Amino acid sequence: MNGPAALSEETPMTKKKESQKIVFASAKDVPLMPMSLGSMLFNKTGSWRNIRPEINLADCIQCGICWKFCPDMSIAIENEFPVFDYDFCKGCGICAEECPTKCIVMVEERK
């Protein structure tokens, strides 16, 4: 006795553009579990942020702790220094808290 069929490679998982809405015509086309339909490419959750991290690169010792701790993968290392992705950073402040030299500070968003 077999279980559900494996996930089809053709199941649309990623929106091609923001206006595209994926609506499955039948239950048999729906994957077993909800999976990324690509909405995060357009849903820029950084707008939820009240405070933003800012970095003083002069004091940065390039330890990578902020990059490692960011729960949203919103810190990239570019040219050996951290760079914030403000499209998705929600301003949790963990990077500032963990920074050993305190060169990251959280500053109020101004709108």
Partner 1 sequence: MKKVIMGNHALSYGAMLGRAQVIAAYPITPQTQVVELLSEMCADGSLNAKFIKVESEHSAMAACIGASVAGARTFTATSAQGLALMHEMLHWASGGRHPVVLGNINRAMAPGWSIWTDQNDSLSQRDTGWMQFYCSSNQEVLDTTIQAFKVSEALYIPSMVILDAFALSHTYEVVDVPDQEKVDAYLPPFKPYARITADAPRAFNGLTGPENYMELRYKLQKDMERVADMVEATGREYEKIFGRYLSAVDPYQCDDAEIILVTSGTAGYTAHVAVEEMRRNGCKVGNLRIRMFRPFPFALVRDILGKAKKIAVVDRNISYGHHGMFAQEVKSALYGQNGGRPVFGFIAGLGGRDITPASFREVVEYTETHDKPEEDILWIGVKR
How far apart (Å, rounded) are the C-alpha atoms in residues 99 and 111? 27
- Residue 98, amino acid: E
The reply to whether 22 sits near partner 1 by the rule CB under 8 A is: yes
CB of 43 to partner 1, least distance (A): 8
Interface size with partner 1, residues (CB under 8 A): 23
- Residue 107 binds partner 1, judged by CB under 8 A: no
User: Judged by CB under 8 A, which of 31, 46, 60, 106 binds partner 1?
Assistant: 31
Q: Please answer whether residues 57 and 35 qualify as being in contact, where contact means their C-beta atoms are separated by less than 8 angstroms.
A: no
| Interaction between residue 6 and partner 1 (CB under 8 A) | yes
33 binds partner 1 (CB under 8 A): yes
Could you tell me which residues are beta bridge partners of residue 51?
Answer: 108
**Which residues contact residue 30 at a Cβ distance below 8 angstroms, ignoring those fewer than 6 apart?**
24
Query: By CB under 8 A, is residue 7 in contact with partner 1?
Result: yes
